[in-house]
């Protein structure tokens, strides 16, 4: 698989993996995560994770984009994979930078395009929660807290990282 070593390419300011045989630069860039805060009759859809990391904890229907899809298609696909939910997207709620793990997360406001939800292969269970019933101590990731609070605040614009964690490095 080539003779790769960490070096700084000419004209750049950081080390990259570079093949010593052909000069190929193996760039490592952030991953894009897409998901949704899905609301029906004032209740929010959460999925209990069937996979690591954070198996057994609750999250929004969200995950990594696939090549060849738009962010909207990715958000709808993730809702189908995790909650067997068909969504109507209502606009972007938030964009989060999670530098600690190299992610950019784009979270939509959404509602069901057709009735019905069911646990997909990545979820142990799925259900709608009233705000006061959300299992806050069992939420999988900080950005889920952020997105839920952004939705509750009724922001008309697009939310970003909270002031206390502008780079998304605090973790759980």
Structure tokens that stand for 135 in this block: 């299992």
Q: What is the pTM of this model?
A: 0.89
Q: pLDDT tens digits for 129-148?
A: 999 999 999 999 999 999 99
Structure tokens that stand for 45 in this block: 């859809």
* In the predicted structure, residue 171 carries a pLDDT above the cut 90: no
pLDDT band at 169 (very low <50, low <70, confident <90, very high): confident
CA distances from 135 to 29, 83, 125, 155 (A): 33, 18, 14, 23
Arithmetic mean of pLDDT over the chain: 95
Judge whether 68 and 138 are in contact, CB under 8 Å.
Answer: no
Instruction: Give the domains, in start order, of the chain with CATH numbers.
Output: 31-153 (3.90.79.10)
Tokens 């997909």 belong to residue? 120
- Most confident of the following: 8-12, 28-32, 131-135: 131-135
């Amino acid at each position: 698989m080539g003779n790769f070593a960490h070096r700084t390419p000419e004209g750049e300011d950081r080390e990259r993996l570079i093949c010593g045989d052909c000069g190929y630069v193996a760039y490592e860039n952030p991953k894009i995560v897409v998901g949704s805060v899905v609301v029906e009759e004032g209740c929010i859809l959460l999925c209990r994770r069937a996979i690591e990391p954070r198996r057994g904890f609750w999250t929004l229907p969200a995950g990594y984009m696939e090549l060849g899809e738009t962010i909207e298609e990715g958000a709808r696909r993730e809702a189908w994979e995790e909650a067997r939910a068909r969504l109507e997207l209502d606009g972007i709620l938030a964009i989060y930078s999670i530098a600690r793990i190299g992610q950019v997360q784009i979270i939509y406001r959404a509602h069901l395009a057709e009735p019905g939800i069911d646990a997909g292969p990545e979820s142990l269970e799925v259900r709608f929660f009233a705000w006061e019933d959300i299992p806050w101590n069992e939420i999988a990731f900080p950005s889920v807290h952020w997105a839920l609070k952004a939705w509750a605040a009724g922001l008309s614009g697009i939310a970003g990282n909270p002031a206390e964690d502008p780079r998304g490095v605090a973790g759980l």
